[in-house]
Every structure is written in C-alpha cells, then in structure tokens.
Homo-oligomer: A and B are copies of this chain.
C-alpha cells in the first residue's frame, strides 16, 4: 500500500511584468505565477502535480489556502484516493469550517480545485495515460458519479447527464482517432495584448493567420478610439477569412459595454469576452440582447457551476469559457461541460497565464471525445509563452492543439524552472527587493 506522504506547495512567480506580455485593461502588469503543488507519496517515483495560477501578488495567499487542505490527503492510501477523486472533491468543498471563506468561490475554492487536479494528475500518471484519455475512458455512470449536483439539479439532473453521456458514447472511439490525428483548433491571444503598438499587432496577426490560426483575439477596453484603430489594423491584417475575438477583461458596466461595442460592431468581431463583471448574469443577458449577432463569452473568472448554470438558464452567453484553475478542479469542470452540452452552448476554454494551456487542453479534448462530440465553433485559447517551463509543454501546430500523449494532467514544472523562479528566494527575484 502506497500512502500520500506530503502536500508540497511552492510559490513560483515569473516576472512577466518586465515586458508587456499579458497586459490587458484590467491587468496592466501581471507577474504570471503559480502556487505549485506536488502530492508526494511513499514511492519517490510517484507524485501528482498541479498548479493554481495567479497574476503575482497574493500567490502566497493561494499557497496558504492549499496548505489548509493537507489533512484531507496526507496519510491517505493512494489507490483509494485516485479511484474516487469525486469523494475527495466533495469532502474539500463541504468542509464545515473552510466553507466560510467562499463558499465555493475565490482563492479558497481555487485551492480546492488545485488539490483535486493534483489527484487527477496522480491518477493519470499511475494509469500511464494523458488525463484526457483517462477521463474519456470512464463510463457514463462513472463520470456522473464524479459530479456534485448540489445547486444545479434544477438545470441538470444526474439522469439527464447520464443520457447526454450515453448519447455520445458510441462515437468516442472514432473521435479519439480524429483527435489523435488532427488535434483541436486553437485561437491565439499572443497578437493582441493592450501594451503592443499597432505595427506589432499587425505583424503578429498576419503571422498567426499565415501559421494556420482561424481566430485571433484582441484586448480592448482601455480607450475606445484606440480600440477602433487597433481593430481596424487587425482586421486588415487578418483578412476576411479569419475571425477576430475581443476581450474587455471586465472593464465595463452594462450600459458602457453596449455603447462601446456599438462602435466596434462594424468590424464584425466573433465574440466579446468578459464585457462586464463575471458575477453579473443579468448584465450579460442585457449585453447579449444588445450586441447580437456578436456573441458574448465569459468564464475564466466565473467562480463555480452555480453562476455558469444561471448564465446558461438566462440565455446570457453564447460561449462557455472554462478555466482549469478557477473552479473546484476537474470534477466541477465536468459539471460545467455537461451543463453547456445540455444548453447546446459551445465550450472554448480560457488558457494562457502559466500552465493553463497545458491543463485545460485535456478538458477540451474530453469534451470533444465524450460530451459535445463537436469541434465546430470551438477553439482552445493559446498564448505562446512560458511553455518551456513544463516537462510536457503543449504542442500547437498550424493553429491546432495536438493531443498530448505524455501521462498526467500537464502541469508538471521543470525542477530548474522552480529553482530559478521560486519567490522570493529564486535567482530571478533575489536581486529585486519588493
């Protein structure tokens, strides 16, 4: 019997604010960071990895939140733990004291998600499979058992979830073959950061389209005239074929979003992402009604399945953007994928940051193989930096994510990167007193 021996957490920060990579209207100077988790076992060769992504300050709070969860895993039988990660997810979520810090929202909930994700990584490594394939080989009944239906049964019952999964079960083998042969579409955000000048945007958009991307994304929301100009530049560079998505990073109120988008509509953006607070279900509905046929997208900051449920019930969004590190881990994301399928809304995962591409691709691939069964109108976000720090970096070729083959959930950092970027004592930081 192998036991979990420790839940290690390390504060790792990349000084991305020194360039303007990652700059948008709400995050002018992010230092992409991770509360990096290793679920260690008695067997030094067996460990589960995961991370909780943040944008710098507060990464220590994320680490503290993860540490409170150690008693739920340390000392447990590994085989037991990974055989039913759903039970672990429920136990963490419903802790009668920790729940006060959310409930099911904010950094405490993200910490729960990170520990849940580490358990799935451990499971996948023990199975010798990439996570997407582990998930896609579970039976419909097993998948349903992994989901906490609390607060969502008015929109999706366990039997409805089962029916959805059973309906797509027949095609799983064929779609697995398709996926392994040609991957899934990506869109790139690397061309359109708010800190880039027009010439750089034009060049990067042209290069992205030439490389095979069928959609690029531009950050907006700083200044409307500048947005009109940048979008014009990007539209010329992209040509008529490629889509341009826009992202306001919550910059606007409801009325402002509607007014601002009226000025950008002529460039036919594919979607407007995060037009306002991620908490504002009714606001998104009002914006969607006003900006139609431009789609409304949100999700990277949507705190849990309860808000996603309402966004779908209210007909408030056209695109569900799951995030690997925001909600309660793989298990809550399974619930969200099934809610999206029930309402017929496509899932286009949020990624970027550090490790988010590596992690979320598994969920998108599981969605394609076992839930929605579709790739049309679906793209996984791609941002092309910081991948070199992972032992199994994503492979994006000709605008498509290739299906990962390495065992695990994707979030294992290289030891050398941890040593270099450990905060505050790694060499990358030690010279800077903050």
Contact = CB atoms under 8 A, between A and B. Distances in A.
A425 interface: no
Nearest to A157: B255
Interface majority SS on A: helix, strand, loop or mixed?
loop
Interface string A101-117: 11111111110000000
Question: How many copies of this chain?
Answer: 2
A281 B152 CA distance: 13
B106 A109 contact: yes
B100 A27 contact: yes
A64 to B, nearest CB: 4
A276 B151 contact: yes
**Which residue among A54, A68, A106, A286 has the maximum number of chain B CB atoms within 10 Å of its CB?**
A106
Given A105-B105, A108-B106, A279-B303, A153 B255 contact: yes
Given A100-B55, A303-B105, A255 B26 contact: no
Contacts of A283: 151, 154, 306, 310
A424 to B, nearest CB: 13
B98 A57 contact: yes
A96 B58 contact: no
Given A64-B60, A64-B61, A108-B107, A26 B307 contact: no
A58 to B, nearest CB: 5
A97 B60 CA distance: 12
B281 A281 contact: yes
Interface string A290-311: 0000000000010110110110
A61 B57 contact: no
Contact of A108 (B27, B58, B151, B277): B58
Given A28-B96, A96-B28, A101 B58 contact: yes
A150 B256 CA distance: 11
A121 interface: no
Interface string A50-80: 0000111110111011001000000000000
Contacts of A277: 103-104, 150-151, 306
A404 to B, nearest CB: 26
A199 interface: no
A281 B277 CA distance: 15
Given A150-B253, A152-B253, A153-B253, 8 more contacts: A27-B97, A29-B96, A61-B68, A61-B108, A104-B277, A106-B303, A151-B277, A281-B282
